[in-house]
Amino acid sequence: MRTLRLMVKEQTPLYIFVAVLFLVGVVFGALIVGALTMDQQQELSDYLGNFFVTVDQQGLASASDSYWSIAALNLKWIGLIWILGLSVIGLPGILILDFLKGVMIGFTVGCLVSQYSWHGMLFALVSVAPHNLVLIPVLLVCSAAAIAFSLLMIRTRVLGQPKRTPITRPFTRYTLLSFAMALLILGISCFEAWVTPSMMRWVTPMLVSVGL
């Protein structure tokens, strides 16, 4: 526990940095929506309209079927961040992933709000926000740990710090943290697969009526 508190204290600036980078991505993603042409906005509106009608009439895939695809997608993010953290050249990739995650969320919410106003915001609150309230901090924690380990690799392998600098213990902490976050991801995926679709079906009829 003491080691965990010390690690969190040491990596606090990294947590702040990746959080700001993610928020910049969210803002950028929302701004992209406003830059779409009229044709692109119409195509987006048609796609969303068809999606909501399908959900309202046919529902979504069963939770047991969608769980593994959701869990696999989320675990890929964790795994990719972990792999990038192991290499000296992986640092930019970690930053790009955090930025892209923010862009994806910002664009999704921006599209819903631009097309459906407060109804879209309500749908975003039940479909995007709940699981991401936990998923995003998990990804940011993994990113901060990956950046810290990558910087350690740079100092020891590139800048030529003494070879006696131990790398085994930081690697073990880094890997165990990533594994713990992966287990948490499995729990978050359960919520996204079983609870989120129910909330989506509750809001979807409102959006269908707005589209009509």
What pLDDT sits at residue 140?
94
- Beta-carbon contacts of residue 206 (< 8 Å; ≥ 6 apart): 119, 122
What pLDDT sits at residue 8?
66
3-class state of residue 89 by DSSP = helix
Among the listed residues 136, 124, 126, 160, the one whose alpha carbon sits nearest the alpha carbon of residue 78: 136
Q: What is the pLDDT of residues 99-144, one digit of tens each?
A: 999 999 999 999 999 988 888 899 999 999 999 999 999 999 999 9
| CB distance 88 to 176 below 8 Å | no
Q: What is the pLDDT of residues 165-201, one digit of tens each?
A: 578 888 998 999 999 999 999 999 999 888 888 888 8
Q: What is the rounded distance in angstroms from the CA atom of residue 180 to the CA atom of residue 32?
A: 35
Encoded amino acid at 47, one letter: Y
Tokens standing for residue 155: 């100092």
Residue 162 in this model has a pLDDT that exceeds 60:
no
What pLDDT sits at residue 2?
54
